[in-house]
């Protein structure tokens, strides 16, 4: 359970009584062509829910996980069915446009990103509000990219 889930449960308990967790199914079409359904807590974003996959959605960051400010634009997915998913915010749209232009992020230069289309979303912004969402994952996190030297040197 993420820190968000723990915080929400504690808040509900303090506000009066036991909390009930609401989960919704989201279908992830993985890069290998298989589909996996994840039952994620309401309010989780697609990136958080992808932790239940064999490997989470790639963020392009060496250690995985989201960037601290949600501004990297690297956790791209294609939403093929937006039922039960939040709409795009202005900040999400601005983040994608900045990535496409190649604007600096976290003080570092970066190459311009690929163009976006009407299906493109950022997994860290897209929240799960109900059942029915379907998402095409463009890239999964590569655990091999963070493995150490097999010789231990």
What pLDDT digit, counting tens, does each position of 63-112 carry?
Answer: 555 677 788 888 999 999 999 999 999 999 999 999 999 999 888 888 99
Split at pLDDT 50, 70, 90, the class of 125 is: very high
- Which pLDDT does position 23 carry in this prediction? 94
The Cα angle at residue 73 between residues 69 and 76, in degrees rounded to 5: 130
Tell me the HSE value of 45 on the side-chain side, using a 13 A CA sphere.
Answer: 19
Instruction: Compute the distance between CA of residue 76 and CA of residue 9 in angstroms, rounded to an integer.
Output: 29
Average pLDDT over residues 19-46: 93
Q: Higher pLDDT residue, 140 or 6?
A: 140
- Which pLDDT does position 4 carry in this prediction? 58
Average pLDDT in the chain: 86
From the list 138, 73, 67, the residue with the least C-alpha distance to 101 is 73
Tell me the HSE value of 116 on the side-chain side, using a 13 A CA sphere.
Answer: 23
Phi, psi of 31 (to 5 degrees): -55, -25
pLDDT of 3 > 80? The answer is no
Instruction: Compute the distance between CA of residue 3 and CA of residue 29 in angstroms, rounded to an integer.
Output: 26
- Which pLDDT does position 67 carry in this prediction? 73
Spell out the SS3 assignment of the chain.
CCHHHHHHHHHHHHCCCCCCCCEEEEEEECCCCCEEEEEEECCCEHHHHHHHCCCCECCCCCCCCCCCCCCCCCCEEEEEECCCECCCCHHHHHHHHHHHHCCCECCECCCCCCCCCCCEEECCCCEECCCCEEEEECCECCHHHHCCCCCCC
pLDDT of 44 > 70? The answer is yes
């Amino acid at each position: 359970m993420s820190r968000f889930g723990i915080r929400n449960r504690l808040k509900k308990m303090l506000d009066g009584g036991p909390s009930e967790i609401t989960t919704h199914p989201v279908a992830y079409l993985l890069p290998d062509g298989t589909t996996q359904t994840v039952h994620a807590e309401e309010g989780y974003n697609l990136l958080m829910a992808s932790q239940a996959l064999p490997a989470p959605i790639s963020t392009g960051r060496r250690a995985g996980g989201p960037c601290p400010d949600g501004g990297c634009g690297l956790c791209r997915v294609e939403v093929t069915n937006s039922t039960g998913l939040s709409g795009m915010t202005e900040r999400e749209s601005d983040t994608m446009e900045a990535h496409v232009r190649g604007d600096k992020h976290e003080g570092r230069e970066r190459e311009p990103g690929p163009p976006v289309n009407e299906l493109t979303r950022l997994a860290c912004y897209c929240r799960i509000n109900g059942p029915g969402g379907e998402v095409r994952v463009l890239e999964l996190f590569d655990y091999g990219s963070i493995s150490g030297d097999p010789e231990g040197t």
